[in-house]
Structure 1
Amino acid sequence: MTPYIPDNQPLPEALSRTTHLAIGAHQDDLEFMAFHGILACYENPSNWFSGVTCTDGGGSARTGPFAGHTDEQMKEVRHQEQDEAARLGQYAAQYQLRHPSSMVKSTEGQAQLGKELADIFSATTPHTLYTHSPADKHPSHLAVFAATLKALRSLPKDQQPQTWIGCEVWRDLDWVPDDRKVAMNVSARPELAAELNNLFLSQIAGGKNYHHAIIGRRTANATFSNPHATDDATQLIFGLDLMPLLEDPNLSPIDFTLNLINEFKDEVQSGLSPYL
């Protein structure tokens, strides 16, 4: 479980400088959902971003130049793409745990991944953490969220982050009531966002124009975030404040998420009912 250190610093120092940590299921998830953290640390000697990618990428779709690749070849391509993103984004460290997706979704795999993530938290002690939203619709993303929660709850309070944000990937979060969502301004350095997104050529060539989709979502979030004011940002990523799940270790993440859905329902009802 030795991470890639782009600037070749000694391992303990490289990890301990981490201020922002992101945990994603797949190669490219970090760059799509946690660009806020990457921006906060890029060319900033006071902040350092580290990433964790949990799965191996072996089940990726493949067409074009990658059509003939075996699963093992795709794993290596995706591994290299993620490490290149870490180099370009000036990450403190990049872990690639290389688990099959089926493993992280199993009971045994959840236990193993949770232990690995707890060890990474202890080594990095970030103050800000990004991971998948519990309202995501990708099973592997939900499995990584669940393992992250279990890992965090196993740690003493002084090793838990001060901020934990669940980010949008395979389901956006524009439906979340405004006072319950975290709006992350990622308008700066659009050229860096484009370079990072386009590094994952194996996925774009596989039939998914992720770069345009991600930038389109961020632009839409900024434009449609407030119908009564001009835009303060050109790019926004929405997230959920997940700290209530740490502040109350007995709070079910299912109840937490369903409460958000009920708040959305109530907001729709109260907004529409005066006119009917």
Structure 2
Amino acid sequence: MKFTNSTADLFIPDGSEIGAALSRTTHLCIGAHQDDTEIMAYHGIAECFGQPDRWFTNVTVTNGAGSPRSGIYGHYTDQEMQGVRRVEQRKAAIVGDYSAQIQLDYSSSAVKDAKQTGVQEDLLAILQAAQPTIVYLHNLADKHDTHVAVALRAISALRRLDPNARPTKVYGCEVWRDLDWVIDSEKQALPVSTYPNLAAALVGIFDSQVSGGKRYDLAIAGRRLANATFLASHETDEETSVTYAMDLTPLVSDPGLSISDFVTGHLDRLIQEIKGRISKFS
């Protein structure tokens, strides 16, 4: 399989042929940076881990050049940091038993340029080969520009798939903005309590980020625990760890839907819920 960038990296942890590795994929994540997937799509990783009929494939779109760094990584150039992060992502694919790990090696600026078609074409080729049942994307209310841009390119690619080849579920997941604010009837609460050792290991692999100045290992565990605890006020906890997601499936099923209206509609319904509760007790 050829991609737009000759520097793209394709890694199959168990050594299978690329066609076989992609065609067996049932769960697929498209993330912006190295470690995004392990933060936002652990639900898919855990569902596939050790299951002969389920396979997780990860697509990392950017090269991760602009990440913050300190400690032993403080003097690393962007080029050196790209190399470190690429290796870390491969390590995560081994530990998580991924079917395939693809790193497309785009700059963030290229991804954010809607006129450049390379990202969308690469993603379309991957999706056509894999035809996953479940896809994980960044949520469209994320506050990281590159995350939103990657999600938009992915949705464009998904919309171009033959309707029969589209996934049955597309989740927009949490990284740089959580989704606690989505009203409960629309919130997708994805249980991620299984294999807590695996969940911790996958985030911990990215030492360039954790030791380099961002304690994602602690923050993600805390967010998932908080989600599980505060999900329902009048019920005991059913899970010890939960990831929230926004259901983006309608945007793929109906390419005519306005993406901005779809997302802001969630905000409108939150406002109405808040107003209704205040009015009820006033």
Query: When the two structures are superposed, what TM-score results if normalisation uses the length of structure 1?
Result: 0.98
Count of matched residue pairs: 275
Q: By how many angstroms is 1:61 displaced?
A: 1.1
Aligned partners of 1:247 and 1:10: how far apart in 2?
A: 31
Give the aligned partner of residue 65 of structure 1: 72
Deviations 1:13-45 (A, max 9, x none): 111000000000000000000000000000100
Give the aligned partner of residue 129 of structure 1: 135
Q: By how many angstroms is 1:190 displaced?
A: 0.4
Give the aligned partner of residue 193 of structure 1: 199
Give the aligned partner of residue 168 of structure 2: 162
Q: By how many angstroms is 1:247 displaced?
A: 2.3
Match of 2:86 among 47, 62, 79: 79
Please say if 1:204 is aligned against 2:215.
no
Please say if 1:103 is aligned against 2:110.
yes
Q: By how many angstroms is 1:116 displaced?
A: 0.5
Give the aligned partner of residue 22 of structure 1: 29
Letter in 2 for 1:205: S
Give the aligned partner of residue 258 of structure 1: 264
| Contact residue 186 and residue 246 of structure 2 kept, 8 A | yes
SS state of the match for residue 30, structure 1? helix
Give the aligned partner of residue 17 of structure 2: 10
Aligned partners of 2:28 and 2:130: how far apart in 1?
A: 8
SS state of the match for residue 22, structure 1? strand
Q: By how many angstroms is 1:129 displaced?
A: 0.2
Identity score, percent: 46
Aligned partners of 2:253 and 2:115: how far apart in 1?
A: 27
Q: By how many angstroms is 1:158 displaced?
A: 1.7
Give the aligned partner of residue 234 of structure 2: 228
SS state of the match for residue 68, structure 1? coil
Match of 2:59 among 32, 52, 56: 52
Letter in 1 for 2:120: G
Aligned partners of 1:158 and 1:248: how far apart in 2?
A: 13
CA RMSD of aligned residues (A): 0.9
Q: By how many angstroms is 1:108 displaced?
A: 3.2
Deviations 1:30-73 (A, max 9, x none): 00000000000001001000000000011111110111111111
Q: By how many angstroms is 1:206 displaced?
A: 2.3
Match of 1:239 among 229, 245, 264: 245
| Contact residue 72 and residue 212 of structure 2 kept, 8 A | no
Any gaps of 5 or more consecutive residues in structure 2? Answer: 4-8
Match of 1:94 among 76, 101, 126: 101
Which consecutive segments of 4 or more residues in structure 1 shift more than 2 A? none
**5 Å matches for 1:173-192?**
173-192=179-198
